[in-house]
Structure 1
Amino acid sequence: MIEDPADLDPASPARIELAPALLDRLAATRTAALRTLASGRPVYGVNTGMGNLSKVRLTEDEQRVHQRNLLLGRAVGGPPWLPPEEARAVLIGRLRTFLTGDAAVSVELVQALVALINSGEVPDIPAEGAGSAGEIIPLAHAFASLDPGPKEGIALLAGIPGATGRAALHAANAHRLVERLSAIAAGAIAVVGANRDPYRPAVGRGDAVLASELARLRELAGPEEEPRSLQAPVSFRVAGHVIAHVRRTVRQLDDAVERAFDGVTDSPAYLDGEFVGTAGFHGIDLAAHCDHLTAALAHAAEVSVARLHRLLDPAVTGLTAQLAREPGPQAGLVAVHKRAVATAHQLRRLTLPTAISTTETSNGQEDVQTFSWEAVGNLGDAIRLTRGTAACELLAVRQAFALSGRPVPPGLQELLRAVDDVVPPIAGDRPFGEDLTRLLADVLRP
């Protein structure tokens, strides 16, 4: 039973039921808002047109169809559509913002939205092409099946609930991914016998996130043995700093998501008994933090790819070239590294900040955008691609342990058992893409 809007989690598949007291508060706000509308004062998008047409006052007959027309005329998107879990996150994001009361929508619309979410059926929502201040195009598709009353069409289109819901989902997936990044990096450190000096507690001074990550790597990698060299390659030595940075940026995105959900993003919003035009739809805070995490993941992926390359080098590992059982007749995992290189290159192209392009729309009424919808889309792709590079390194770590005869440290045994459950021992060349597909589906799934 949801009693507080903050209890709604876009990453949760649970059925939603709203507390009666919460619905009563929304009903009271709706009654007051309708009374305000009855005064006849101009309210943007309700008794006026939208965008550059906001100077046009609507007759009562025009107002009766206007809210539905707002949805119809803005559904200009098309494939590719969002994956079902992201489409659900958009719906939950909209519901959570409605529960603040800012949109002043009816209990009936809220209940219709809850029913849509609980049905398990999700609408087709375009993943691309939201070139406006806010995200009116994807939201028009998301809520095309709903029947809006006074002020409710514009409420369904307002703000950045879709990007916020999707960002919450991606942040939850990123938290799970970063745990795997730590374990895989620790496996690489352990299997090559890397010098543990870079992971000493004193190195984390002044940075609690880094200190915690270094402790995690020490624990997972197990007891230190005589190192193979005075210094391991940089990609091994910086593992703690790189992954700590990812952790920090995920937490910062968590905070940005909460600000977006708790703040005022509707426009017009019903605040202190009147309708107020706002600019919360701009979404720069959310877009910037999505971009930040995308860049952090791109760096983590590149470092992972570099470690993978070193794992194929006998000078670093003391093992056979390219981790082949019989180098020469067998190529080993060299092509796995090539796939990882291509994946990291694709990821790198996502790191251009999204909020650096300003293009006028609506005859100049909307003259800047942050493209937060695109920023969160890039982040979803970055998480998927980072999982791809992680799978490549994980396969190499498992093969390196198999060839070295080193015992798997206790902290890594569960992970490598999971690998063994889906990837048979590597005795020779084979279609390693099939192994990577199984790792992504069963071991590194979101």
Structure 2
Amino acid sequence: MSERALGPAAAGTSTALLTDHYELTMLQAALQSGTAQRRSVFELFPRRLPEGRRYGVVAGVGRALDAFERFRFDDEVLAVLDEGRVVDAQTLAWLADYEFTGDIWGYPEGEVYLPYSPLVVVEASFAEAVLLETLLLSIYNHDSAIASAASRMTWAAEGRPCIEMGSRRTHEEAAVAAARAAYVAGFASTSNLAARQRHGIPTAGTSAHSFTLLHDTERDAFVAQVTSLGRDTTLLVDTYDIAEAVRVAVEVAGPELGAVRLDSGDLGVLAHQVRAQLDSLGATKTRITVTSDLDEYAIAALAAAPVDGYGVGTQLVTGSGHPTCGFVYKLVSREGADGEMVPVAKKAKDKGSVGGRKYALRRRNSRGRAEAEVVGIGEAPVDDGDDRTLLVPLVRDGEVVGREPLSASRERHLASRAELPLQARQLSRGEPVIPTIHLD
């Protein structure tokens, strides 16, 4: 699966203004003090998982790399900064020549993460690296929240396909990003056509209740849809009387009817009733798809019902109660007056961080089961032969080197999730499924 286009606007649009004002005022002050060119290491990481979650999923890496490549201060961007007197003339001149020349390492897309996982490590001058903070955080926080919710949903679905259909429940551009993140975490398709255009994600959809209500009778609506879309289409059967609709649907399309969709009521009970009716009418291969504000808990509750697929909207695009991951972007090491790198960290009981450049691996036992997230400070942890190194190069000397197809991210997520202990599947509240261990 290939990604064919770029972010929220035309391919050439700069992303430099998708940031916070204080990134540029910090730059101006650092330029004036002579500290802007100090070598620095910034890290993007979570201090904790959202309450009740046992693991998270990294998403947005590909989108972040696209946005990084378009992060430049062209004439239009500089004019905005100049007219608003955001920074002084010296800083504007520096920004006009801005070019990131450093390195970026990160967890690859689809990987599982835990508290204090160093998801992104940015090594460059302070001036080059600090400007990326808001852009990276906004992409990673949103997309990883969606992917983390989607992973729980696809795991609860136990192999039954999930369709992302939340476009009408969020911002129009967030909808495209959400479809992409859900696909990384195992969703089979999306209803969003922009996601198909930009990212090559399969799309699906047939009709809404308005189509049935448009026609004089439900039969007329079914005939029109089957005539146009074929017998393998999905007919929505809960506009009026479900049992009567199922009977008419099979009469119109025959036993070759592809699927029926239920969008209201007690979905578990109705699925059993509709399955029995379809079978009695000879439509034994007709599938049942359910929708209606589903989340991972509702999907899990339907595990014993004869449901063949799920359409998920509102709960998915809002992160199923956790629309952000709480990632932060902190300076953890910088060049001292003597030219040596010095670990630095904010000291606070509730917002503390760990100084020093990090390295990470997933500690696994001989059976390939994850046991811990091991984070080395200043040097890489030793692989005992069963472990996996987690950080991969994303940008080297200012050039993107970590782009990959979405299919690789999907495969990675399934493999990474499968390594976790069985407790990771539990939807009840609990601690992270494996501990994070820091090695000095």
Normalising by structure 2, we get a TM-score of 0.30
More strand by share: 2
More helix by share: 1
Normalising by structure 1, we get a TM-score of 0.29
